[in-house]
Amino acid sequence: MLATKDPSGVARRRLRRRYGCGARCRLDLPRVPALGTDAGNDARLKLAGGEQPASRPRHAARASVAPRGYDHEVQLAFTTVDEFHSLLEQAGEALDYREVWPRLFPVGNCPPELMRTLVADIVQSDERFAWESDVHVGLAAWHAQRRDLADVAFTVVDLETTGATPGFAKITEIGAVRLEGGREVDTFSALVNPGVPIPAMITGITGIDDETVAGAPPIDVVLAKFVDFAAHSVLVAHNAPFDLGFLDYELGRLRRQTFPRPALDTLRLARKLCPQQRCSLSALSYRFDTRVKPVHRALQDAQATGELLVLFLSWLQEQGMTTLEEVARFCAPGTRRNYHKIAHTEGLPTGPGVYLMRDGKGAALYIGKAENLRRRTRDHFLQRQAYRARQALELLERIDVVETGSEFAALLLEGRLIAKHKPPHNSHGTRASSYHYVKLSAEEYPRLYSTPNLREDGSYYAGPFRKASVARRFVDCINGAYPLRTCTRMPRAAGAHACPRAGTGACLAPCSQAPNGDYAAVVAAVSRVLDGHAEGLDERLRQRQAALVEALAFEQAARLQHQREALARALRGVRRLRDAQRADVVLLYPAKRRGWIALWGIRAGSVVVEREVGRSAFDERAAHGFLAAVAASEPHRPPLPAAAIDEMLLVHSWLEHHRASTNCLDVGALVRGEEPCDEAASRLLARVCACTHEAGAGPCPPPA
């Protein structure tokens, strides 16, 4: 066993050199004996800020470093090296030293450079350890146990089940293909009798019903055969946690065992190798033109996954990954791979603002707002995140922030930056061009349909709706209740035959007969529904649904229920936009500069005037000018452009929760001409003084 260097002297010199504490930095660091010896295994490295009480435990010793570049307490205690060795043996794979550090060294706020240096002292001084990468530490004995990819057998498996939760749902089919040397050498396919009814939804997806599995063996018989088939191989699946979750559950129930690890996941590989692309099995299969296409049956899906695995492994080998352990580490969860990037959050401000995650080329990956920028950005690394946010961490190279002074300003700026940059990993605010309207055309006999296009053609437009499916279902519901025509071009020839909808009474058929004013009445009723007044329509649908239930026509009644739900959802959106356009207010919040106030003039739900004013310079004349600009502004009028509704709905949502606060001043009476501008200006000045006082800037100066 090699003797360690003197980490006490190393740490002392490093701390003094880095933090400039010189003679003022007292470091009572006992010399640590050789690691691996009894004395060395029990040794502790202490950074002490003075004499410690005799009764105080040794691991609680603290250091007080003079505050020059670093003013935090540093607590450091070496656990035994054997404990580090045991931790690696239990994990069975290399570990990121930044993750194991809290378990081995209970140190608060330790700088990353010092953290790595102290770990490097251990690795270099003990032949049992070895660096696997820049951040991963493993056991040197593993090098002789590495498995070359060319020598590894893979069993690619896929399951069909009755649901998504192991234990509650059961396996109905197991399909697998065994790959050796990159070639398919054997296949496994077996139906399983789940012992429970198969839901109709599952049958519609897989084609497997109760009759199909009636004569199939139970899972305990099939699983035993699969265990033999997969022996001495590495399991692979697309979305492996799902398939291995079921397999481990059943094997644990039958034998108190689980399938061996590591296992590979082609979904994780695809998301790493093909970022910003759809990575479902079907999408990957058609993109890379696999010989076998997935059809929601176990064997075919496993064969398609196997072809993708061979392709992905060849790509990884080109990148220098030639062993199973390297590929398994490449597949590790994103939180483990990207935790070291939390260093980008050091030094960020703690106030409100907007943060932009950027890649190596400076392109925006993800944009978010925060009440506390440092805390929110750190949450991306410390808490479970949505898939899009995790993908952004994969490519993250730096984090830029913009301080705003208030959470409302951050909310507005976030939406505007998202609309401008359209970051690929933001899900909201990037698809305004795909919003849909419900259009009642300006023709002799209007028709109703959904469209993403807004034109000045005299037609009536409702919306826009953020989801095209909501607009389409809204149209289907109205066309099913009112006899409007649906043909894109109405025949003009004399004696033209009416469409099939006319024969069922679903259309007044203006193409074959004069409606005699009935069509205009229907158009007027539809216009009321598009305005948000659909009480009569919902009552008609409810009565029709009740009649179908009495006639035992439950499937038709269920379809009507879906129509009523679609109608209610669309109308909520119409009414919400209508309510948003009624807001005429001024919002006041502290600006970034101390003693300044940010003002937003909102007319008909849209932000029309924005200013930052100093407390001392904002007098009655300035308030009068600001309010005059708000009243004279021309807001958006229906139909609203798609690019405007995101910010309008953000403002509306904010006002719903903050309208009663002192930061919100209603100027509706001023806009309608019911209040003199001088009175409104006096109210605005009072609110500005109240806001500055709440912000801790002191009372307003007396008027001149």
- The three-state secondary structure class of 366 is strand
Q: At 508, list the tokens.
A: 């007044």
Half-sphere exposure for 114 (CA within 13 Å, toward CB): 23
Question: CA torsion 511→516→517→522, rounded to 10°?
Answer: -50
Half-sphere exposure for 47 (CA within 13 Å, toward CB): 27
Q: Do residues 121 and 10 lie in contact, with contact meaning Cβ atoms separated by under 8 Å?
A: yes
Of residues 684, 678, 677, the one with CA closest to residue 663: 684
| Active site (annotated) includes residue 296 | yes
Q: At 624, list the tokens.
A: 């009068």
Of residues 363, 422, 347, the one with CA closest to residue 395: 363
What's the rounded Cα separation, in Å, for the pair 198 and 203? 7
- Residue 302's φ and ψ, nearest 5 degrees, are -65, -40
Q: Do residues 190 and 225 lie in contact, with contact meaning Cβ atoms separated by under 8 Å?
A: yes
Burial state string for 289-326 with b = 16 or more CB within 10 A and e = fewer than 16: ebebebebbbbbbbbbbbbbbebbbeebeeeebebbbb
What's the rounded Cα separation, in Å, for the pair 206 and 218? 19
CB < 8 Å & 24+ apart, contacts of 279-284: 281/238, 281/305, 281/308, 284/308
Q: How many CB atoms lie within 10 A of CB 209?
A: 16
DSSP annotation of 34: -
Element (H or E) spanning 296, and its range? none
Q: How many CB atoms lie within 10 A of CB 61?
A: 20
Q: Tell me which of 85, 136, 143, 296 is the catalytic residue.
A: 296
Write the secondary structure of 560-605 as one string of H (helix), E (strand) and C (coil). Answer: HHHHHHHHHHHHHHHHHHHHHCCCCEEEEEECCCCCEEEEEEEECC
Catalytic residues: 296
